[in-house]
Amino acid sequence: MSIYDSLNEQQREAVYHTDGPLLILAGAGSGKTRVLTHRIAYLIGEKDVNPQNILAITFTNKAAGEMRERVDRLIGFGAERVWVSTFHSTCVRILRRYIDRIGYDTNFTIYDGDDQKTLMKEVCRRLDIDTKVYKERTLLGAISTAKDEMVTPAEFERNVAGDFGRQKIAKVYWEYEKQLKANNALDFDDLLMKTVQLLQTNPDVLASYQKRFRYIMVDEYQDTNTVQFKFISLLAAKYQNLCVVGDDDQSIYKFRGANIKNILNFEQEFQNARVIKLEQNYRSTGNILNAANAVICNNHGRKDKTLWTDNGEGEKIHFRQFDTGYDEAEYIAGDVQKVVRDGGAYNDFAVLYRTNAQSRLFEEKFVAYNIPYKIVGGVNFYARREIKDLLAYLKTVDNGQDDLAVRRIINVPKRGIGLTTINRVQESATVREIGFYEALKGLDLIPGVGRSAQKLDSFVALIEYFKTRSEEISISDLMEEIIEKTGYIDSLEEENNEEAQARIENIDELLSKIAVYEEVCAEEGMPPTLSGFLEEVALVADIDSLDEEQDYVVLMTLHSAKGLEFPHVYLAGLEDGLFPSYMAITSDNSEDLEEERRLCYVGITRAEQELTVSCARRRMVRGETQYNKMSRFLKEIPMNLLECGGIRFDEDTEMLKQNAYAQAKQAFKQRAFQTYSVPKPVKQFGAGGQKKLDYTVGDRVRHIKFGEGTVRDIIEGGRDYEVTVEFDTSGIKKMFASFAKLQKK
């Protein structure tokens, strides 16, 4: 029996088509890696192609290693001579031989991210650039984007004529490249850009590699950027034996520079290209695939394909709508526990969500249920840098003896307090046998502090102010004031990139956690204290890192889930404004919403046997309760594919209407088992005085974020007022008056 007999008809067609350009549109779970490896085996075993003449490019070292192992198993001797590597590894090998042609020594250094930051600091110092205005990270991001598009410093400068801010970046780009060259160093973007420049300016080098790589294969082609496309085009220009494998429906890395047009326009770029569709899915059930097809067909910028399977219809997709995000997390934790009790394994489950900040609720519930979990593509919520920073502020306010906390925040955000100064304070504290913060209060006893003394005094004054305020205001208000007075979020917003936005979302989630802690304390008739909150967080955060071999539930963002599969998948937080994101919904570019829909498609197709999709009617964001519509992506799934747990879906109201029995059952479950919940409005929820509001029910008010609206309800408590406002553009929201800072119109 031939090794090719195990392939389906379309897979064999792709393997046997060896001459000329070929686009393999490989749907999710359609066996694309199997096709690539069998194609390499066919070229060597049946077409007598020298293994040295084959180049296979992947995006990750892991994928390259797996491909090489599978080729080795298929053909054995000679497989090691096939050039299987990532884009960056391929380019490094070329540059090591020929980079002297473009003015570098072949023993060049490759700078990693930290090296780049260090160099950028030096560049800014040389050019007298104010790093408070132009963040190093922002400058590096702009340069990286330019290199991805093969824009040189000279071209960049010409393109920004008349734009003062961008002209500054152009000067930085010039100096950055100058310093790289002086150090005989390349950054990661240079590896591709310099290779393309080398091939374009040295015809003999290009000809030698074109001759070497007569057959080229590229995996995950939908994720390629402009410079990667150019590199491949140059290598394949002579023989045109280029095979690319990808799925335009899984193009989700636009924010990293990926250009979906590379795969959509393949036939225009390479004349007489053959297109083969792999539509048979080996991973999922029929109902899961039908749901994925129904969602993705709403995108216009795509190549038509429909996934199908022989796996049977399987279970319907479980749809659950909850009152709050806490209920959602509670349900998922309970459902996982039930299946495991019945003989399932934790590592059969994955919980997928749109933003890293959403992991917090699941982490807390899994800890409460004693469910082992692992976060992929991120760190535990309370271990994230921004969360640790802000908790360090609270710890310092609560206990100034925590030296680690004080040292962590003394120059966060940047105050111009250098490491030398910090070390001198630490040395003085050690000699005098006092704490670091205590030493800061007596700067006149510390030699060599010099000009930094004023900055240190300002920091101490700020902490002392927060200590005083902590006795007067709520923890929520204190956290808000810390964020405002330190300018923490302002410093993130200036970075203006994907990572900064994710960090701001995490901070919003921390504010929500504080608000819930205060509300739970009010329900239980206990005063919320800063020490109590920090203790609760510490107990949740203090989780030993899980052994790789251990059985655990996987928590991850949808971006991290690409390429993975699980028997049971929970796709959580399907609400407009969260997924798809508010920015995508309001964007003038329809492609942004289509990318979000592709992300949803990726999430659905991770499931092998069982898929649960869920949303919440209200979710706490930045300490405020927001009322959300269910995601438009949910509505794109046909009703006949959904199982709604004995409750009826009313499309007009977008609510799940429960019968009396279901309502009673749910109420019992919440009372008996729910630890955290958003409480119903109560007449009294604290002690202490509260000044009267200057607005009443029916008045028009303005919120700094949500704009104008009408006050619908005010509930008076001893500590604060709970105000319900129907905003003109943002819907109905409930918030504490002191937190909302509403202004009467």
Of the residues 175, 189, 219, 505, only one is catalytic, namely 219
Q: For residues 245 and 35, is the Cβ–Cβ distance under 8 A?
A: yes
Of the residues 12, 13, 18, 33, only one is catalytic, namely 33
Q: For residues 412 and 419, is the Cβ–Cβ distance under 8 A?
A: no
Task: Respond yes or no: is residue 220 known to be catalytic.
Answer: yes
CB atoms within 10 A of CB 251: 27
Residue 434: partners with Cβ closer than 8 Å, 6 or more residues away: none
d(CA 401, CA 431): 16
Give the closest residue to 15 by CA, choosing from 4, 25, 6.
4
> Which region, left, alpha or beta, applies to residue 240 given φ > 0 means left and ψ of -120 to 50 means alpha?
left
d(CA 408, CA 387): 12
Strand, helix or coil for residue 6:
coil
Amino acid identity, position 42: Y
CB atoms within 10 A of CB 84: 26
Residue 580: partners with Cβ closer than 8 Å, 6 or more residues away: 593, 596, 597, 600, 631, 632, 633
Report the largest interatomic distance among the alpha carbons of the chain, rounded to a whole angstrom: 87
Cα distances (angstroms) measured from residue 739 to each of 64, 397, 623, 690, 703: 52, 20, 8, 13, 11
Give the closest residue to 482 by CA, choosing from 576, 533, 409.
409
Of the residues 10, 250, 358, 612, only one is catalytic, namely 250
Classify strands 349-353 and 553-557 as parallel, antiparallel or unpaired.
Answer: parallel
Strand, helix or coil for residue 625:
strand
Q: For residues 647 and 657, is the Cβ–Cβ distance under 8 A?
A: yes
For 631-666, letters b (16+ CB in 10 Å) and e give bbbbeebeeebbeeeebebeeeeeebebeeeeeeeb
Task: Respond yes or no: is residue 219 known to be catalytic.
Answer: yes
Q: Exposed, middle or buried, 304 (CB in 10 Å: 0-12/13-18/19+)?
A: exposed
* 3-state helix/strand/coil string of 512-528: HHHHHHHHHHHHCCCCC
d(CA 461, CA 571): 47
Phi, psi torsion values for 3, nearest 5 degrees: -65, -15
Q: For residues 725 and 732, is the Cβ–Cβ distance under 8 A?
A: yes
Classify strands 655-657 and 648-650 as parallel, antiparallel or unpaired.
Answer: antiparallel
Report the DSSP beta bridge partners of residue 349.
568
d(CA 89, CA 110): 12
Task: Respond yes or no: is residue 167 known to be catalytic.
Answer: no
Long-range contacts of 701-705 (CB under 8 A, 24+ apart): 701/725, 701/742, 701/743, 701/744, 701/745, 702/742, 702/743, 702/745, 703/727, 703/740, 703/741, 703/742, 704/741
Of the residues 277, 320, 408, 606, only one is catalytic, namely 606
Q: Which helix (H) or strand (E) holds 215?
A: strand 215-218
Of the residues 175, 220, 480, 722, only one is catalytic, namely 220
Of the residues 10, 11, 32, 386, only one is catalytic, namely 32
Task: Respond yes or no: is residue 32 known to be catalytic.
Answer: yes
Report the DSSP beta bridge partners of residue 643.
318
Catalytic positions, written as ranges: 32-33, 219-220, 250, 606
